[in-house]
Structure 1
């Protein structure tokens, strides 16, 4: 238990995957760190719960592909430290029309970064994955390094290692006040803490914490339906059949991507989801579904019916998750414009889990006033100044 006058080198608010990796890097560098979480762990209220996430190098933005090189190393290091498997390589299959600009850019990025990949024309794609029904003209691109991360397991491992390294993990304490200064003071529902630096990785609750600090970021919180679909023949979309993760880029029936993971979380069920959702207050995440939610599920039903004929075309299980999106879908990794010992990691837009090892490293570096390991231009708050939404 922390005493009232104990001074931490860093205090991290939010024990999702980004906050956990931030605290992990701080603890690895022998900093006195406290990781605060408003809910009792484990919980399913934010963006990091659930059994699986996709890991991939396939991005149109070369800065993410470069970051992923180190992410793979840190994920492997974490597996070694924990003696637990956290990753399964399956490959990641991109599905798109050959002329799709995003598809072409990803192919160029993978080539320029020296990432092993394979272009699959329609006929070869049909032979390789006969249980995917293609739209006319659809082709594939296989990122061979892609696969599945075991999300829940990764969170538990990180929290355990943080404690082993001398860090504190304090759950069930909601932050009710932040007083900037040196040290920064944080008041929770139970007690107050003080630290030389503060890192906010609070997901959908970020703006609630930032509002009293004089800033609001252009963040949109979305409620996402996570859907699982039953195989008609058990195992046909499983790892034993070498079925990959997939990402559908341009589908006539959907404005956003559809993605899927081979069976594994639930026996005989495949995870296929729509990479978009509907506006929702994080406190109301579990309210009854709105009509707009059902529209998203109908898009998925049509996709499964048309592309994955060996799945039942209605979901067997539906769960909920939250995205916190920025307008450009890129992260926010920056210091508060006024208080340079308050660091913000936010807006991971539904694709941040795989990148969390490097995100945590960057947030550690910012909090310790070190030179960042990566160019943070794509992630600075100042990029939103023209939108009139990020304001002091």
Structure 2
């Protein structure tokens, strides 16, 4: 019981692993706790690919991504592994719609290298994709594909080489706040001057121990892969980009796609929302309403794909009411730091999220303005029982 860490991090997904990495690089004695044996596919950080982009409606995300790109490049150097492939990102949406207009304006204001495609030139730039009537199209030139599993392994490897400790297969069963925080797992007891909670879908379960509840909703996502009629049609080799279809007519959520990568001859096309679930009972959630929407979209807009998914995998999003992250200190216990609610678009921010959470844990001023991510914005929702 004598050992006291500078920081304990709970949850070894991308956000927790990046937090631990930054802490270890700052000479903080750190232990990273993970309930499952690594690697695992039970949370939100597994799988081969994610989109990385600067194309956002909000300036604060565009600014964060500037630093995130720099940190990904630094991690690539440290790990000696390629983590990112530039492909560009095609964004399509109702031309006069609020979201597309705001996105376009933010990209111009932040000087994000981009191309706006006129309707008459669309098919020559983007073959095998039908632009929906009334939609505009732009390309984020610096976007691409992040190799997710590889990135997670890389950041954990650099963390370990900086003296960090990982304890996997250790589910946290109790947290006792205090000047020294005590964390009890099924296998041991850990004490730390600070605690970072990055537990994804299990965040609220852990926060109960600290007298806090956040308005987080956990949803299961069907991750769908669609077979190319002619192999290679939607590949990086054919210069096919990642894409986001904003607000498709049939639902209020986006559809996104990545060129074939993890399964040769299959393209990843997914609906950006799922059905509510309990994280420990994810696979009991069998709703496929999103797949019906995707089938119709693929039939209409991606004629080179067979409009029935060849593979369906599972992932989880932890969603806040405004779809923005939670990056903040606990309202009652300032040495407990919370990173939660990444709402299905957090992976690309991993290195910068890890940096700001580590800065909060060390009592430093964060390198980014965290006002959009404060717990206080949920005042009507969150309740501290202490």
Counterpart residue number, 2:351: 357
Question: How has the CA–CA distance of structure 1 residues 237 and 39 changed in structure 2, closer, same or farther, with 3 Å as cutoff?
Answer: same
Counterpart residue number, 2:296: 302
Residues in 1 aligned to 2:382 and 2:361: alpha-carbon distance in whole angstroms? 25
TM-score, normalised to structure 2's length?
Answer: 0.98
Q: Would you say 1:243 and 2:243 are equivalent positions?
A: no
Residues in 1 aligned to 2:307 and 2:352: alpha-carbon distance in whole angstroms? 38
Counterpart residue number, 2:224: 227
Q: In the alignment, which of 6, 11, 14 is matched to residue 14 of structure 1? A: 11
CA distances 1:342-392 after superposition (whole Å, capped 9, x unpaired): 01000000000001111101100110110111111100000011x334444
Aligned residues of 1:384 and 1:390 also touching (Cα < 8 A): no
CA distances 1:166-194 after superposition (whole Å, capped 9, x unpaired): 00011000000111112110110001010
Give the CA deviation at 1:5.
2.0
Counterpart residue number, 1:319: 313
Q: Would you say 1:32 and 2:29 are equivalent positions?
A: yes
Mark the runs of 5 or more structure 1 residues left unpaired by the alignment. Answer: none
Which is worse superposed, 47-56 or 135-144? 135-144
Counterpart residue number, 2:2: 5
Residues in 2 aligned to 1:143 and 1:83: alpha-carbon distance in whole angstroms? 27
Residues in 2 aligned to 1:107 and 1:200: alpha-carbon distance in whole angstroms? 35
Counterpart residue number, 2:132: 135
Give the CA deviation at 1:250.
2.5
Counterpart residue number, 1:388: 381
Residues in 2 aligned to 1:376 and 1:97: alpha-carbon distance in whole angstroms? 31
Counterpart residue number, 1:164: 161
Aligned residues of 1:125 and 1:139 also touching (Cα < 8 A): no
Q: Would you say 1:70 and 2:64 are equivalent positions?
A: no
Q: In the alignment, which of 101, 119, 122 is matched to residue 122 of structure 1? A: 119
Residues in 2 aligned to 1:116 and 1:224: alpha-carbon distance in whole angstroms? 31
Residues in 1 aligned to 2:332 and 2:52: alpha-carbon distance in whole angstroms? 35
Residues in 2 aligned to 1:273 and 1:288: alpha-carbon distance in whole angstroms? 17
SS at 1:88 equivalent: strand
Counterpart residue number, 2:50: 53
Aligned residues of 2:327 and 2:370 also touching (Cα < 8 A): yes
Question: How has the CA–CA distance of structure 1 residues 340 and 304 changed in structure 2, closer, same or farther, with 3 Å as cutoff?
Answer: same
Give the CA deviation at 1:138.
2.0
Residues in 2 aligned to 1:34 and 1:313: alpha-carbon distance in whole angstroms? 46
Mark the runs of 5 or more structure 2 residues left unpaired by the alignment. Answer: none
Question: How has the CA–CA distance of structure 1 residues 245 and 390 changed in structure 2, closer, same or farther, with 3 Å as cutoff?
Answer: farther
Aligned residues: 385
Counterpart residue number, 1:276: 273
Aligned residues of 1:95 and 1:138 also touching (Cα < 8 A): yes
Runs (4+) of structure 1 exceeding 6 A deviation are none
Counterpart residue number, 1:98: 95
Aligned residues of 1:91 and 1:146 also touching (Cα < 8 A): yes
Give the CA deviation at 1:159.
1.0
Which is worse superposed, 105-114 or 314-323? 105-114
Residues in 1 aligned to 2:169 and 2:372: alpha-carbon distance in whole angstroms? 34
Q: In the alignment, which of 334, 340, 345 is matched to residue 328 of structure 2? A: 334
